[in-house]
Amino acid sequence: MSDSAAVAVVGAGSWGTALALHVARLGRCVRLWARDPGLAREIERTGENARYLPGIPLPGVEVTASGEHALSTAALVIVAVPSHGVEDVLAPMSALIASTASVVSATKGLEPRCGRPISGLLAAMVPGRPIAVLSGPSFAREVAMGQPTALVIAASDGNVARRLQRELSAKAFRLYTNGDVLGVELGGALKNVMALATGLCDGLGLGENARAALITRGLAEMVRLGVALGAQPATFAGLAGLGDLVLTCTGTLSRNRALGREIGRGRSLAEAERATPMVAEGVRTTASAIRLARGAAIPMPICEEVGAVLFDAKPVRQALEALLARDPRPEEEAGVLA
């Protein structure tokens, strides 16, 4: 296949690697860019990303640490970098992205300095390129293994969303389009905060009833903030909202839930983060969500209590008890989709 049809995946963590493998299975020329040249050489030598996706071969995936080689002729650029690194990574590379290329954010987080969606950051960094967002319930390992997955491809231009849907869909990788880019991004980011909360609950051994309550009320918080910021409430009932929320709050592969569980068992945030090379986006998203909610005067008690545990050393049990001690109110006053 010609270079003009090439796909560049920026970020060789678990998600970027899984997406690159998916694209390779579609028969596309794909280049996976790794920030660490040592990691790129290791993947090239062994044929797998043992650091982030051990045991999964990567046939058809070309790995490089050269931004110029990865990006210069790519017709599609998929950004799979942790939210806090997107700006630093793309700043020196943005001029290498072809003016006709489409750019897809696969980052489930918010830009940490001011909490803006990654799509907005990308639009400012690579103006004139079509921007889309890929999100929904997905663990990288399952995508890499070719297990069935359904996701959302969101773009403000419906033609762009439909084109990317056609280009990236496969039998086991089903894509639905959505025009609510903000809602899709907020769903993908905020669910990580709720997964931290359910992890804290699990770490204390509070049971599945408590976890279900946190997930449900967490969805209500997500909707309230999303609608206040201009998102559509129905988006949060779909794959990028409820679907991703349930997976991340209950799945055994959820790094945010795992991080919360370790903190609930007594580890500090620093200790829990050091225990894994994977980035748990929910930590930074918690700070962004609290800032956005306060600016919009939106109550988000779960986010506030998770933030108190992470950043103010509030005891986990005390934080969860504070949620249980809130004044009773009719559920319909803060309904999930109202």
Cite the active site residues. Answer: 191
At a CB cut-off of 8 Å and minimum separation 6, what does 92 contact?
A: 67
**What's the CA gap between 135 and 107, in Å, rounded?**
8
At a CB cut-off of 8 Å and minimum separation 6, what does 208 contact?
A: none
- Cβ count within 10 A of residue 332: 8
Instruction: Identify the CA nearest to 101 among candidates 119, 68, 126.
Output: 126
Q: How far is CA 45 from CA 9, 63, 70, 71, in A?
A: 19, 10, 18, 22
**What's the CA gap between 43 and 37, in Å, rounded?**
10
| Cβ pair 30, 73 in contact under 8 A | no
